[in-house]
């Protein structure tokens, strides 16, 4: 399969470049229901299964990171609100002031952790679309390969069946003509022999062929 695709991969890439150059975005295949329906007819391959799994893992990671970033931002806002509240709670008494300061310090520490996590996750989120596009591109190439092969196979089968149908039509026409000729010949032979020898003689020789379903006359008379 891989060797075969090597001969046609330039065509597939040119087709994909044509799509993107016209401003059309290649859809994420595993999220496209029509793409899944392709394989109800063609069947999948180990390469497509592997690329699909990798693409889905990247998409799941992207979704998870987006949720994590939302949660961290929510926590960060809460911590900042806590700092503001602690600042307002600072009093003249040393004990209360010390407790508020500790809370503010802890909140600042947690905010710093949030910032580090946000930076890490946001950097990964910037990289993920490139990775998703790269795997999706490979999956599109593999999809075009299997579809192209199926189209070629179907075209060959259509041609063979078409030739068989055309040949069968000719043979059928010949057989029908031969059948009609044989029926006419039998009718003429029977009529000739019936007129000369009569039904009784033909019956003796077990020749009760009657294309017009009007004889044997002997049976009709006996009835």
d(CA 98, CA 107): 14
Q: Tokens 């693409």 belong to which residue?
A: 55
For residues 145 and 12, the answer to whether their CB atoms sit within 8 Å is yes
Residue 207, pLDDT > 70, answer no
* Alpha carbons 100 and 83: distance in angstroms, whole number: 9
Residue bearing the bigger pLDDT, 15 or 109? 109
Q: CA torsion 153→154→156→157, rounded to 10°?
A: 120
φ/ψ (deg, to 5) at 208 = -95, 25
pLDDT tens for each residue of 28-67? 999 999 998 888 766 788 999 999 999 999 999 999 999 9
Q: What is the pLDDT of residue 129?
A: 94
Query: Which of these ranges, 83-87, 96-100, 170-174, 197-201, has the smallest mean pLDDT?
Result: 96-100
What DSSP string runs through 97-162?
HHHHHHHHHHHHHHHHHHHHHHHHHHHHHHHHHHHHHHHHHHHHHHHHHHHHHHHHHHHHHHHHHH
Q: How confident is the model at residue 216 (pLDDT cuts 50, 70, 90)?
A: very low
Residue range 68-73: mean pLDDT, rounded: 95
> What are the pLDDT digits (tens) for 103-115?
888 888 999 999 9
Of the listed ranges 41-45, 74-78, 116-120, the least confidently predicted one is 41-45
Phi, psi of 203 (to 5 degrees): -70, -35
Q: What is the pLDDT at residue 146?
A: 86
Nearest to 25 by CA among 172, 165, 133: 133
Mean predicted lDDT score pLDDT of the chain: 81
The distance from CA 55 to its chain's CA centroid, rounded to whole angstroms, is 16
Look at 187 and 155; give whichever has higher pLDDT: 155
Q: What pLDDT is stored for residue 126 in this prediction?
A: 93
- For 61-72, the DSSP string reads HHHHHHHHHHHH
* Mean pLDDT for the stretch of residues 86-92: 62
Work out the pLDDT band at 2, boundaries 50, 70, 90: very low
| C-beta of residue 124 within 8 angstroms of C-beta of residue 65 | yes
- What are the tens digits of pLDDT across the range 166-202? 999 999 999 999 999 998 998 888 888 878 887 777 6
Per-residue pLDDT at 206 exceeds 50: yes
Give residue 21's pLDDT: 54
């Amino acid at each position: 399969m891989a060797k075969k695709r090597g001969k046609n991969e330039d065509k597939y890439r040119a087709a994909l470049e044509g799509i993107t150059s016209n401003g059309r975005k290649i859809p994420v295949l595993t999220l496209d229901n029509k793409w899944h329906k392709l394989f109800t007819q063609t069947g999948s391959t180990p390469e497509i299964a592997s690329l699909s799994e990798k693409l889905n893992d990247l998409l799941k990671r992207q979704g998870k990171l987006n949720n994590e970033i939302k949660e961290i931002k929510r926590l960060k806002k809460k911590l900042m609100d806590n700092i503001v509240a602690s600042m307002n709670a600072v009093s003249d008494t040393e004990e209360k002031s010390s407790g508020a300061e500790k809370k503010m310090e802890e909140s600042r520490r947690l905010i710093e952790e949030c910032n580090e996590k946000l930076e890490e996750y946001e950097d990964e989120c910037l990289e993920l679309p490139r990775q998703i596009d790269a795997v999706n591109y490979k999956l599109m190439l593999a999809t075009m390969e299997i579809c192209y092969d199926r189209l070629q196979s179907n075209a060959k089968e259509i041609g063979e069946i078409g030739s068989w149908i055309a040949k069968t039509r000719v043979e059928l026409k010949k057989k029908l003509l031969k059948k009609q000729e044989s029926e006419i010949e039998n009718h003429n032979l029977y009529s000739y022999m019936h007129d000369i020898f009569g039904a009784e003689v033909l019956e003796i020789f077990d020749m009760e062929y009657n294309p017009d379903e009007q004889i044997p006359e002997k049976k009709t008379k006996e009835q």
